[in-house]
Amino acid sequence: MSIHNAPRQYLNWGTSLGLLLILGLAVELLLQQYGLRQQQAEQQRLLAHANEVRAVLLGELNATLHLATGLATYIPAKAGRIDPAELEPWLKGLFQQGRHIRNIGLAPGNRLTFIYPLAGNEAALGLYYPDTPKQWPVIERIIASAKPMLDGPLLLVQGGQGLIYRVPVFLPDQSYWGLISTVIDFDRLYAEVEAVARQRGLSISLLPLDGALPQQSAEAEAINLVVPVAGASWQLQARALEPLQPLPLGLRLLGWGLALTVSLLIGLALHSQQRRASLLLALNQSQRDFLQAFERAPQSMALVDNRGCLLVVNQAFCRLLQLHATQLVRQPLEHFCVPEERADLLQHLAAIRPGPNRSWTQHLLDAHQQRIAVECSAAILGPVADTDQARILHIQDIRERQRLQRLQNEFTASVSHELRTPLTAIAGALGLINGGALGEVPPAMAELLQIAQANSQRLQALISDLLDMEKLLAGQMRFELREQPLWPLLQDAVAHNQPYASQHQVTLQLQEPAAPLSVRVDAQRLSQVMANLLSNAAKFSPPGSQVTVSAEDLGDRVRIAVRDRGPGICEEFRPRIFSKFAQADGSDRRQKGGTGLGLAISKELVERMQGDIGFDTAAGNGTTFWFELPVSTSRQESSTL
Ligand code: ADP
């Protein structure tokens, strides 16, 4: 089984590993998606904030530039004449409104003749633009295009960086008048915009574009915006002050941990499912094996429920009753039993217990109503089909055995009958010879004749035992049951058997019961039982010991016990002791004599007198054989009154 399971197991764990990789990949994809989303959100935030910063920058610049544009309409209105006394308070007002204006200069005919405020800007006064090669090309372009333009940032003569907003002024007759230059403090403006950007978590840089396309930053997370203002274009580059946090390691670990757990759980589930499947398979296989063995067994077998209803029957059982399985299954077993034994069968079925059970004989009826003698043995099997405790019945056809037994008994009986008459004659003749009835026996013959007489007596005893047994088995032994006092019967038995016991140097001792006891027995059969038990006790007792005979009142029964101090009966022999021809040791026959029939006959006799026989023994501590007989009916009647 394990050989078949190994590739399956590899497959299961391979599946789990594959699943782990797929789940891990999914985790990585999800994390990537999550990271991208985060990045996109960050970009959106950056863009929104960069736009805000650009709006601030544009707002600041445009506000300032509009002031200068307003001034450009003043000069044509004055036909190009500049009256410093009139202009100064006005410029002062403009200067105070334009927060980033560093100075405003008027350059009629391209010469800077008026600067407000003059203080700090004296160096620039009188500057003639065509003489400044750095600025003049730009100024020329402004004049040519007649459009104001913002230039810079430039290093200012006065120091620092500035943006210069130059507005070309044309008189009403379209003749060129000169330039108005507004110098914006770039450093201050930039610092202010940068502060706004910092508040929004951005770092910015501002680059002039000079007509070029906005440069794409090398960094993906930087935002580039064009800032178009008055003929110039700048690029506002913004990036987050704090870089985007990489995805936390914990999240990745959690994802992989989950993937691992799920894969492991699925792997375990697959593993246990496969184990269950293979166990089921093995179970099915063993059930099939059992059913096959059951079905094909040469002995008849059947499963019955606790009410004796047949659940399953095997082929041998069907053959035995010559019926088809369908005619047997779900039928009570008693239907196939001879009517007079049905109650017995039900009793036997009800008495089945877990563990070893005794077998019993029964007569079944086959399809042709023929009686079949069977020996049944049973065991509790456990739950089968819908039944809690099914029983398995083993039914053995004993007709042949019984036939052979009968033949054997008949043979033994006829041989015994044939032997009895000549043996009686031989024993009688030997008795007469040894008794000296025919004259004195010559000493040379005496010993041999004694042995011959003893052996013929033993043969007579054997034949008498065999005939008794045969009579008992054939039910031909007559019993004359009579109520009688027990004490004289026991006294007789002891007296009759003492001579035999004395041969073994054993004394028989009778213990008188406390009160007189009566039993209902056949006196001759009781003395036969006593003779057997006493002779056995004497035979197996050590010389010089005592054999005790006692009687005990058990209420409705009387127990008669014969106790010896012999070697006891060994464990293995105990179950067979009441069987015919049973002897513990084959050498007993030679050493102690006997046929092995005595106890079998005693058991039959006691049972025919409605009694029980048994024994208690302990190795090395002697044996007590006992039998119990029903007390006399008058006693029973008086005790029930
Ligand atoms: P047997 O004629 O051989 O005595 P029994 O049927 O009376 O036949 O006894 C059968 C066997 O039981 C004996 O051979 C002996 O082994 C054993 N047995 C009987 N009684 C006793 C006893 N009191 N002590 C020990 N063993 C005994």
Residue 490 and residue 459 share a domain: no
Report the nearest-CA residue for atom 16 of ligand 1.
584
Report the nearest-CA residue for atom 23 of ligand 1.
537
- Average pLDDT rounded to a whole number, residues 19-34: 91
* pLDDT tens-digit readout, 192-213: 899 999 998 899 988 877 655 5
pLDDT-derived band at 633 (thresholds 50, 70, 90) equals low
Residue 488 and residue 468 share a domain: no
Pocket test for ligand 1, best of 577, 578, 592, 616 (most atoms within 8 A of CB): 577
- What is the structure's pLDDT at 328? 94
Does residue 206 form part of some domain? Answer: no
Does residue 271 form part of some domain? Answer: no
Residue 595 three-state SS: coil
Residue 376 three-state SS: strand
8 Å CB contact between 506 and 547: yes
pLDDT-derived band at 100 (thresholds 50, 70, 90) equals confident
- Average pLDDT rounded to a whole number, residues 530-552: 95
Residue 384: half-sphere exposure toward Cβ, Cα within 13 Å? 19
| pLDDT top residue among 163 and 12 | 163
Cα dihedral 125, 126, 132, 134, rounded to 10, equals 20
Report the nearest-CA residue for atom 12 of ligand 1.
583
Angstrom distance (rounded) from CA 389 to CA 366: 27
Angstrom distance (rounded) from CA 329 to CA 379: 19
Residue 377: CATH number of its domain:
3.30.450.20
Does residue 104 form part of some domain? Answer: no
Q: What's the token pair of residue 125?
A: 């006064």
Helical ranges in 474-549 per DSSP H: 486-503, 523-540
Residue 310 and residue 412 share a domain: no
E strands present in 241-386: 300-304, 310-313, 360-365, 371-384
Please spell the DSSP secondary structure of 444-495, one letter per residue.
Answer: HHHHHHHHHHHHHHHHHHHHHHHHHHHHHHTT------EEEEHHHHHHHHHH
pLDDT-derived band at 616 (thresholds 50, 70, 90) equals very high
Q: Ligand 1, closest atom to CA 585?
A: 16
- Average pLDDT rounded to a whole number, residues 289-295: 88
Q: 524 alpha carbon to ligand 1 midpoint, in Å? A: 21
* pLDDT tens-digit readout, 500-524: 999 999 999 999 888 888 999 999 9
Q: Which residues pair with 380 in a beta bridge?
A: 391
Pocket test for ligand 1, best of 573, 583, 589 (most atoms within 8 A of CB): 583
Residue 53: half-sphere exposure toward Cβ, Cα within 13 Å? 34
* pLDDT tens-digit readout, 245-271: 777 888 889 999 999 999 899 888 988
- What is the structure's pLDDT at 385? 60
- What is the structure's pLDDT at 217? 52
Residue 383 and residue 367 share a domain: yes
Q: 558 alpha carbon to ligand 1 midpoint, in Å? A: 23
Angstrom distance (rounded) from CA 543 to CA 502: 9
Does residue 607 form part of some domain? Answer: yes
| pLDDT top residue among 119 and 358 | 119
Residue 129 three-state SS: helix
Angstrom distance (rounded) from CA 356 to CA 602: 27
**Res 591 pLDDT > 70:** no
Pocket test for ligand 1, best of 466, 591, 599 (most atoms within 8 A of CB): 599
- What is the structure's pLDDT at 640? 31
Q: 583 alpha carbon to ligand 1 midpoint, in Å? A: 6
Nearest to 427, CA basis, from 449, 451, 453: 453
Q: Which residues pair with 625 in a beta bridge?
A: 562, 615
Please spell the DSSP secondary structure of 161-197, one letter per residue.
Answer: EEEEEEEEEE-TTS-EEEEEEEEEEHHHHHHHHHHHH
Number of domains in the chain: 3
- What is the structure's pLDDT at 639? 35
Instruction: Tell the residue number behind the tokens 């799920």, with chain if given.
Output: 262
Pocket of ligand 1 (CB under 6 A): 532, 536-537, 540, 564, 566, 569, 577, 582-584, 588, 594-600, 623
Cα dihedral 330, 333, 335, 340, rounded to 10, equals -160
pLDDT-derived band at 550 (thresholds 50, 70, 90) equals very high
- Average pLDDT rounded to a whole number, residues 449-476: 86
Q: Which residues pair with 550 in a beta bridge?
A: 561
Q: 473 alpha carbon to ligand 1 midpoint, in Å? A: 21
Report the nearest-CA residue for atom 8 of ligand 1.
596
Within its chain, how far is the Cα of 628 from the centroid?
Answer: 56
The enclosing H or E element of 139 equals helix 136-145
* Cα R_g (the chain), whole angstroms: 66
| pLDDT top residue among 641 and 364 | 364
Q: Please, what is the angle between helix 2-77 and helix 249-296, to 10°?
A: 160
Q: 536 alpha carbon to ligand 1 midpoint, in Å? A: 6
Does residue 565 form part of some domain? Answer: yes
8 Å CB contact between 176 and 168: yes
**What is the CB neighbour count within 10 angstroms for residue 167?**
22
**What is the CB neighbour count within 10 angstroms for residue 132?**
14
- What is the structure's pLDDT at 627? 96
- Average pLDDT rounded to a whole number, residues 575-598: 71
pLDDT-derived band at 539 (thresholds 50, 70, 90) equals very high
- Average pLDDT rounded to a whole number, residues 317-334: 94
- Average pLDDT rounded to a whole number, residues 478-502: 93
Residue 420 belongs to domain spanning: 402-474
Residue 505 and residue 586 share a domain: yes
Angstrom distance (rounded) from CA 65 to CA 150: 9
**Res 3 pLDDT > 50:** no
Region of poorest pLDDT, from 16-30, 218-232, 283-297, 569-583 = 218-232
* pLDDT tens-digit readout, 174-189: 899 999 988 888 888 8
Q: Ligand 1, closest atom to CA 597?
A: 6
Q: 580 alpha carbon to ligand 1 midpoint, in Å? A: 11
- What is the structure's pLDDT at 261? 92
Instruction: Tell the residue number behind the tokens 């594959």, with chain if given.
Output: 18
Residue 531 and residue 440 share a domain: no
Please spell the DSSP secondary structure of 412-443, one letter per residue.
Answer: HHHHHHHHHHHHHHHHHHHHHHHHTTTSPPPH
Q: 390 alpha carbon to ligand 1 midpoint, in Å? A: 41
Does residue 228 form part of some domain? Answer: no
**Res 73 pLDDT > 90:** no
Residue 575 and residue 508 share a domain: yes
**Res 214 pLDDT > 80:** no
- What is the structure's pLDDT at 153? 80
- What is the structure's pLDDT at 162? 85
Residue 594 and residue 445 share a domain: no
% of the chain surpassing 90 pLDDT:
38
- What is the structure's pLDDT at 316? 95
Region of poorest pLDDT, from 379-383, 581-585, 590-594 = 590-594
| pLDDT top residue among 338 and 97 | 338
Residue 498: CATH number of its domain:
3.30.565.10
CA distances from 331 to 335, 396, 397 (A): 7, 20, 20
Q: 511 alpha carbon to ligand 1 midpoint, in Å? A: 23
* pLDDT tens-digit readout, 423-444: 899 999 999 999 888 888 888 8
Q: Please, what is the angle between helix 598-608 and helix 443-473, to 10°?
A: 40
Does residue 320 form part of some domain? Answer: yes
- Average pLDDT rounded to a whole number, residues 97-122: 86
**Res 216 pLDDT > 80:** no
- What is the structure's pLDDT at 242? 83
pLDDT-derived band at 636 (thresholds 50, 70, 90) equals very low
Q: 576 alpha carbon to ligand 1 midpoint, in Å? A: 11
Residue 501 and residue 445 share a domain: no
Angstrom distance (rounded) from CA 529 to CA 609: 11
Residue 573 and residue 489 share a domain: yes
Among the candidates 440, 457, 474, a domain finishes at 474
Among the candidates 418, 447, 474, a domain finishes at 474
Residue 382 and residue 316 share a domain: yes
Residue 611 and residue 499 share a domain: yes
Q: What's the token pair of residue 396?
A: 């053995």
Does residue 212 form part of some domain? Answer: no
Q: Please, what is the angle between helix 486-503 and helix 523-540, to 10°?
A: 30
DSSP β-ladder status, 223-229 and 176-185: unpaired
pLDDT-derived band at 592 (thresholds 50, 70, 90) equals low
Report the nearest-CA residue for atom 4 of ligand 1.
594
CA dihedral for 269, 275, 277, 280, sign (positive or negative): negative
Angstrom distance (rounded) from CA 391 to CA 423: 54
Q: 532 alpha carbon to ligand 1 midpoint, in Å? A: 9
Peptide bond into 298 cis (omega under 30): no
Among the candidates 474, 495, 529, a domain finishes at 474
